[in-house]
């Protein structure tokens, strides 16, 4: 643990002045490292993050699944978006794509966990997306 702390301190010193992501705690209980230049809004069960250059948006929602299965919800959502057939990528997590009204490819990950429907929609692409998604904590 001490070695990790020293390494983190060295990295912080070497990269002093470099912009770091800002951890934000949202009303739905999630904490997300919001990258510099991204705007964000979190209200109730929904979070929206938008890249400064408008090239990408991330929408995150956690709601009650009302007893529905992840498979059924993903199929209904994909159908409403005119999307691809949802693919099971992990235990009760489904993935599909669709193009929105601006013809931007959207990637949707949805699943049910402990009775909660969790949805992440990524519209467009940006270099910060992977870091933002990997930073999500409940």
Listed in sequence order, the residues at least 6 apart from 100 whose beta carbon sits closer than 8 Å to its beta carbon are: 106, 123
Per-residue pLDDT tens over the stretch 2-19: 333 333 333 443 333 335
Q: What is the pLDDT, as a whole number, of residue 92?
A: 85
Q: Has residue 47 got a pLDDT over 70?
A: yes
127 exposed, middle or buried (CB, 10 Å; 0-12, 13-18, 19+)?
exposed
Grouping H, G, I as helix, E, B as strand and the rest as coil, residue 5 is: helix
Q: How large is the average pLDDT for residues 54-80?
A: 95
Assigned token pair, 32 = 């997300």
Q: How large is the average pLDDT for residues 12-36?
A: 72
Q: Has residue 129 got a pLDDT over 80?
A: yes
Question: Measured between alpha carbons, how far is 54 from 71 in angstroms, rounded to an integer?
Answer: 31
Question: Measured between alpha carbons, how far is 42 from 30 in angstroms, rounded to an integer?
Answer: 10
How confident is residue 90, by pLDDT bands cut at 50, 70 and 90? Answer: confident
Question: Measured between alpha carbons, how far is 131 from 81 in angstroms, rounded to an integer?
Answer: 26
Q: What is the pLDDT, as a whole number, of residue 20?
A: 61
Q: What is the pLDDT, as a whole number, of residue 108?
A: 97
Is residue 94 within 8 A of residue 109, CB to CB? The reply is yes
The DSSP letter of residue 4 is: H
Is residue 107 within 8 A of residue 86, CB to CB? The reply is no
Question: Measured between alpha carbons, how far is 123 from 107 in angstroms, rounded to an integer?
Answer: 7
Identify the structural domains of the chain with CATH numbers, from first to last: 19-135 (3.40.1000.10)
The pTM (predicted TM-score) of the whole model is 0.82
């Amino acid at each position: 643990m001490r070695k990790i702390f020293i390494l983190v301190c060295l990295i912080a010193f070497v990269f002093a002045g470099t912009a770091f992501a800002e951890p934000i705690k949202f009303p739905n209980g999630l904490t997300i490292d919001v990258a510099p230049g991204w705007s964000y809004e979190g209200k109730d069960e929904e979070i929206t993050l938008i890249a400064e250059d408008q090239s990408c948006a991330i929408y995150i929602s956690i709601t009650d699944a009302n007893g529905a299965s992840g498979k059924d919800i993903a199929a209904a959502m994909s159908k409403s978006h005119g999307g691809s057939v949802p693919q099971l990528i992990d235990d009760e997590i489904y993935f599909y794509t669709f193009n929105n009204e601006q013809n931007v490819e959207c990637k949707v990950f949805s699943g049910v966990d402990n009775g909660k429907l969790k949805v992440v929609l990524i519209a467009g692409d940006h270099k910060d997306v992977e870091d933002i998604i990997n930073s999500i904590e409940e």
